[in-house]
């Protein structure tokens, strides 16, 4: 039977102290000093943003959705580029007629050209989507970032308020709010979306800021005597903004469909405004006889929402690969 | 780390300290930090406190390097953050050059911020990934409104060279560097304002062993050339021995022993220090093999630390007195001046011991198994 050998770390080969002594005395340059980096001096410095952009450019989902969105933006700014018609010109004698030369999508129940109305409806949808998203992102990230950064009672109050807003059913809230605040423009609808949408972004921003705030580099800035605003703007915000952008981009699509929903229910936009929701609503009674009057605006709506959600997905993959 | 080196340094340390004890750079008295634990519904109340640091007293002299060692969770890092005033102490005082900064606001701290700097443990978390190396290192100058002659950029390049990085990498981002290089950037940021005191919170623990040596050497070079005092927080006794002139051993929020390096490493008195020393792996096979001390169990919870001496629950010499009376941190008989120990029943001042002390029955069983120890 062999002699019991007590465990000796040095013999067993952990010898951390020994390895260190060796390295100290030799002063080796394993970690490279000046020469240890990628050699090419012309290599451009890359930030995480430019990394993300490079990822995006290679992503077919981003390219396809980007092209669709670019097209939508252009025709919402200059609808006359692809149609010469007037979306309000009605010719009852042509009501519900199918497609004909010059009028590829046919006519709606009022005898208006569906193609022209779909094109002009883009402007409404894009305006609502973009403005609501911007408003929600600004209000939500501002309040959420404050709550996350300062914490304390301000955080508690804000979190409870956002809980309350989360409890409001969107469509019911829209019916109530928009039957009080009326108008035929897009602004009451956008206002309602900001009112109900900010808590979502505020939560994301709050969580993101809390995560970033705990990083040592924020503490390092504090140790250097940096002010709160400097820490917030230089150190916290740039590192916390990615999740906000991702969620906002995905939400953009849902705001567009929410506008259509509210308009369909008769509380969003109202005639004479041109909106896909209004057209779907007006045409849905004739669905069996003339389905084209519903299908074209609905198709445009679906394509637009899909494009924005795909864009959101691509942006998320690029900015936060961990979520993939 | 040669023996000649250590002895010559040790000889010069006492005189140096005598000259400077008149005005310690940093005085810490009975410093405490308790983190409240909130609980209860609907109104959250404080139901307890994590006593991370509980009554710590020490001085740091100008140009001196004080090592702070102890196991994980003993309050080393919290102490470091109290010294840089990233945290506000619950009790006690931190005095920097005669000025009490324990509760100073941002405005009062502003002039001191540039003199006390910090190096962080994790080189991946301590650099803002969205800033270039240039703006990271320039930020201390920017925040404190300092415009060196020749401009900030020239100064940053100079600093990069001092810490052994290529000045051409000014415009790169932190993620393009290795861990050791990132820590060098952290060092450059810390020395940018030529501080008087640097709190290094485990500056090399996150690094590869071979890189640790380089960063320690860099810190040592910086300390010698710029005369910066260091509080060097670490759990690696070999590195602390290499770096520090004085060493304090912490256990559960308290200092149990503080002494000049050689006094502590060669003539430790506190049983906990003995246990730590015996755990240091010995690489030299010619040295007489030291017997080891195996402690039992874990560090007690800092939420309700043991009464009296905090180490008594794991100490092989503990008696009734240890539970009732807290040992003061004093110079016990047989110690050199400046060697303070908090223990009622101190060990002999030696690191040689004749017999293993094994407190954990599970470890005894392991020792008894033939060959088991070798394979483990």
State whether residue A7 sits within 8 Å of chain B by CB. Answer: yes
CA-closest candidate to residue A121, choices A84, A72, A81? A72
Q: What percent of chain A has pLDDT over 90?
A: 28
Residues paired with B39 in a beta bridge: B45
Residue-level pLDDT at A146: 92
B144:A4 CB<8 A: no
Give me the residues of B, 219-258, that contact A with CB < 8 A: 236, 238-239, 242
**What are the tokens at A323?**
């979520």
A220:B118 CB<8 A: yes
Average pLDDT over residues A101-119: 87
Cβ distance B294 to B96 under 8 Å? no
Residue of chain B whose Cα is closest to the Cα of A7: B373
Nearest to A216 among B1, B126, B281 (CB): B126
CA-closest candidate to residue B213, choices A198, A53, A30? A30
State whether residue A13 sits within 8 Å of chain B by CB. Answer: no
B370:A4 CB<8 A: yes
Domain extents in chain B: 1-115+193-376
Chain A nearest CA to B88, separation (Å): 13
Average pLDDT over residues A2-31: 40
State whether residue A43 sits within 8 Å of chain B by CB. Answer: no
Give the alpha-carbon dihedral of B178, B179, B180, B185, to 10 degrees: 90
State whether residue B280 sits within 8 Å of chain A by CB. Answer: yes
State whether residue A45 sits within 8 Å of chain B by CB. Answer: yes
The pair phi, psi for residue A29, each rounded to 5°, is: -120, 55
Give me the residues of A, 227-266, that contact B with CB < 8 A: 227, 230, 234-235, 238-239
Report whether pLDDT(A251) > 80: yes
Per DSSP, the three-state class of A157 is: helix
Which value does ipTM take for this structure? 0.75
State whether residue A303 sits within 8 Å of chain B by CB. Answer: no
Kindly report the pTM of this predicted structure. 0.74
pLDDT tens digits, one per residue of B149-180 = 888 889 999 999 989 898 888 888 888 888 88
Q: How many A/B residue pairs have CB atoms within 8 Å?
A: 181
Give me the residues of A, 172-231, that contact B with CB < 8 A: 215-217, 219-227, 230
Query: Does A12 or A197 have the greater pLDDT score?
Result: A197
Chain B nearest CA to A131, separation (Å): 28
- The span from the CA of B247 to the CA of B75, in Å, is 15
- The span from the CA of B6 to the CA of B243, in Å, is 10
B373:A21 CB<8 A: no
Report whether pLDDT(A19) > 60: no
> Residue A227: its chain B contacts at CB < 8 A?
106
Residue-level pLDDT at B1: 40
Residue-level pLDDT at A323: 52
Residue-level pLDDT at A106: 86
> Residue B169: its chain A contacts at CB < 8 A?
37
Instruction: Name residue, tokens 């021995």.
Output: B241
Least confident range of A36-45, B293-302, B350-359: A36-45
Nearest to B84 among A5, A47, A223 (CB): A223
Average pLDDT over residues B191-219: 88
CA-closest candidate to residue B142, choices A227, A287, A1, A130? A227
- What angle in degrees, to the nearest 10, is found between the helix axes of A152-167 and A187-213? 140
Chain B nearest CA to A144, separation (Å): 21
A20:B239 CB<8 A: yes
B176:A230 CB<8 A: no
CATH of domain B1-115+193-376: 3.40.50.300
CATH of domain A123-277: 1.10.3720.10
Q: What is the Cα B220 distance to its own chain's centre?
A: 15
Q: Give the model's confidence band at B185: pLDDT under 50 very low, under 70 low, under 90 confident, else very high.
A: very high
> Residue B109: its chain A contacts at CB < 8 A?
225
Q: Give the model's confidence band at B365: pLDDT under 50 very low, under 70 low, under 90 confident, else very high.
A: low
- The span from the CA of A243 to the CA of A230, in Å, is 21
**What are the tokens at A168?**
């409001």
B128:A224 CB<8 A: no
Nearest to A36 among B109, B181, B282 (CB): B181
pLDDT tens digits, one per residue of B36-69 = 888 766 677 778 888 889 889 999 998 899 999 9
pLDDT tens digits, one per residue of B17-27 = 444 446 789 99
> Residue B217: its chain A contacts at CB < 8 A?
24, 27
Report whether pLDDT(B227) > 80: yes
State whether residue B175 sits within 8 Å of chain A by CB. Answer: yes
Instruction: Name residue, tokens 């690094």.
Output: B207
Residue-level pLDDT at B16: 46
Average pLDDT over residues B88-115: 88
Average pLDDT over residues A177-198: 87
- The span from the CA of B219 to the CA of B203, in Å, is 9
Instruction: Name residue, tokens 């623990």.
Output: B205
CA-closest candidate to residue A198, choices A285, A261, A138? A138
Chain A nearest CA to B123, separation (Å): 9
B1:A32 CB<8 A: no
Report whether pLDDT(B29) > 70: yes
Domain extents in chain A: 123-277
- The span from the CA of B76 to the CA of B69, in Å, is 7
Chain A nearest CA to B104, separation (Å): 12
Residue-level pLDDT at B286: 65
Nearest to B211 among A12, A31, A238 (CB): A31
Give me the residues of B, 127-146, that contact A with CB < 8 A: 127-132, 139-140, 143-144
With 0-12 / 13-18 / 19 or more C-beta atoms within 10 angstroms meaning exposed / middle / buried, residue B88 is exposed
pLDDT tens digits, one per residue of A213-228 = 888 899 888 888 888 8
Nearest to B168 among A10, A15, A41 (CB): A41
A234:B367 CB<8 A: no
Mean pLDDT score across all residues of chain B: 82
Q: Give the model's confidence band at B354: pLDDT under 50 very low, under 70 low, under 90 confident, else very high.
A: low
Instruction: Name residue, tokens 């600093």.
Output: B159
A235:B128 CB<8 A: yes
Best residue of B209, B217, B233, B288 to probe chain A, by most A CBs closer than 10 Å: B209
């Amino acid at each position: 039977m062999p002699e019991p050998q007590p465990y000796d770390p040095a013999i067993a080969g952990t010898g951390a102290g020994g390895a260190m002594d060796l390295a100290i005395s030799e002063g080796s340059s394993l970690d490279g000093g000046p020469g240890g980096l990628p050699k090419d001096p012309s290599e451009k410095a890359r930030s995480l943003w430019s990394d993300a952009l490079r990822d995006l450019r290679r992503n077919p989902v981003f390219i396809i959705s980007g092209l669709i969105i670019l097209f939508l933006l252009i025709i919402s700014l200059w609808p006359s580029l692809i149609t010469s018609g007037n979306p309000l010109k009605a010719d009852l004698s042509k009501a519900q007629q199918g497609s004909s030369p010059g009028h590829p999508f046919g006519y709606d129940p009022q005898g208006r050209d569906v193609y022209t109305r779909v094109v002009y409806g883009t402007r409404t949808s894009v305006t609502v989507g973009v403005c609501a998203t911007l408003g929600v992102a600004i209000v939500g990230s501002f309040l959420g970032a404050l709550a996350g950064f300062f914490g304390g009672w301000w955080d508690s109050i804000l979190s409870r308020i956002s809980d309350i807003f989360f409890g409001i059913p969107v469509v019911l809230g829209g019916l109530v709010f928009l039957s009080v605040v009326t108008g035929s423009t897009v602004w009451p609808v956008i206002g309602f979306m900001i009112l109900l949408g900010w808590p979502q972004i505020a939560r994301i921003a709050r969580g993101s800021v809390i995560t970033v705030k705990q990083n040592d580099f924020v503490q390092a800035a504090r140790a250097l005597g940096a002010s709160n605003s400097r820490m917030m703007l230089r150190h916290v915000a740039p590192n916390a903004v990615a999740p906000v952008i991702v969620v906002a981009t995905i939400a953009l699509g849902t705001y567009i469909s929410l506008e259509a929903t509210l308009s369909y229910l008769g509380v969003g936009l109202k005639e004479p405004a041109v909106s896909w929701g209004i057209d779907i609503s007006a045409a849905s009674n004739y669905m069996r006889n003339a389905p084209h009057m519903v299908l074209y605006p609905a198709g445009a709506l679906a394509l637009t929402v899909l494009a924005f959600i795909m864009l959101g997905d691509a942006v998320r993959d690029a900015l936060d690969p961990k979520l993939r | 780390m040669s023996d000649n080196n250590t002895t010559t340094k040790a000889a010069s340390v006492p005189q140096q300290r005598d000259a400077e004890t008149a005005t310690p750079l940093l005085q810490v008295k009975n410093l405490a930090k308790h983190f409240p634990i909130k609980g209860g519904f609907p109104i959250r109340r404080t139901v307890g406190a994590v006593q991370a640091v509980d009554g710590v007293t020490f001085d740091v002299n100008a140009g001196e390097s004080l090592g702070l060692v102890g196991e994980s969770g003993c309050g080393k890092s919290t102490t470091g953050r109290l010294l840089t005033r990233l945290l506000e102490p619950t009790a006690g005082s931190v005095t920097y050059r005669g000025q009490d900064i324990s509760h100073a606001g941002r405005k009062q701290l502003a002039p001191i911020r540039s003199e006390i700097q910090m190096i962080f443990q994790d080189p991946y978390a301590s650099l803002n990934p969205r800033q270039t190396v240039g703006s990271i290192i320039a930020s201390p100058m920017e925040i404190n409104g300092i415009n060196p002659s020749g401009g900030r950029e020239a100064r940053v390049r100079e600093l990069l060279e001092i810490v052994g990085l290529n000045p051409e990498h000014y415009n790169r981002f932190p993620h393009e560097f290795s861990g050791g290089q990132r820590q060098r950037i952290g060092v450059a940021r810390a020395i940018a304002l030529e501080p008087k005191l640097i709190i290094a919170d485990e500056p090399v623990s996150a690094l590869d062993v071979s890189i640790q040596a380089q960063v320690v050497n860099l810190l040592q070079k910086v300390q010698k050339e710029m005369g910066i005092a260091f509080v060097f927080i670490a759990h690696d006794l070999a590195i602390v021995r290499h770096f520090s002139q004085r060493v304090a051993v912490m256990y559960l929020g308290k200092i149990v022993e503080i002494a000049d390096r050689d006094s502590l490493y060669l003539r430790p008195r506190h049983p906990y220090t003995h246990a730590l020393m015996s755990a240091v792996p010995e690489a030299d096979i010619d040295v007489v093999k030291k017997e080891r001390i195996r402690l039992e169990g874990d560090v007690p919870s800092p939420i309700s630390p043991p009464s009296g001496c905090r180490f008594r629950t794991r100490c092989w010499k503990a008696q009734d007195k240890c539970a009732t009376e807290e040992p003061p941190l004093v110079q016990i008989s047989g110690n050199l001046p400046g060697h303070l120990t908090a223990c009622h029943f101190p060990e002999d001042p030696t690191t040689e011991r004749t017999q293993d002390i094994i407190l954990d029955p599970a470890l005894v069983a392991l020792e008894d198994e033939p060959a088991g120890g070798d394979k483990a």
